[in-house]
Structure 1
């Protein structure tokens, strides 16, 4: 499933010899800007990725996230930056976009890049809330990922 995402991750790791999220952002020259959670740019989200017309890339992220969750969110946004490079061509016509699919792909990328394993035996008997909490991932991310 999603072999092309696995290939993207393998390529990153081969080229940069790391899967450290902060190192990858540095190598790819994607700026990380932390903002207060009430900042209007975040639109009540944890983060968002932006590429301008000059190719400058930045991720705006809340400054109050715990470290594990922050890594996941950054990996998710990196997924958008690498997997959805032509998304802005369709951004003016939202009907052309399958937002759920794009979010599932970015979540899948984050899970695989960070090597997060959803071992069914390890989590047997756990609720979705308990699994999400143990992985430092909000339930909303887990629910989207669960549909992959």
Structure 2
């Protein structure tokens, strides 16, 4: 994959999985041995599916910004991105979260992701959203 292909691939993944919550498409993007570390919390593919299900139950709408920064190492097949997500919870509360994510891609599948997230406003309500795995009461 070259840089433009990798950016397109990750962008489409966000649209399908995070924005549209089309979990049937997970195998199109993620390797069975996938794991991610978000804000120091490591999860495997099954825990990632739980995270997505909880996210879907918690939020009404997610808008992923264009990528502000994108660095790609073609030899290592890693894509580093900086972007924001505008989130509206089912309660109507809105928040903006900045993310820096490093994706490792092998054979057109994401095998690892390392993320750092930072809520830009409504910090108390949105600081854990990037790694949420059980409904917030």
- TM bucket (normalised to shorter chain) is under 0.3
When normalised by structure 2's length, the TM-score is 0.27
Which protein shows a greater Rg? 1
When normalised by structure 1's length, the TM-score is 0.25
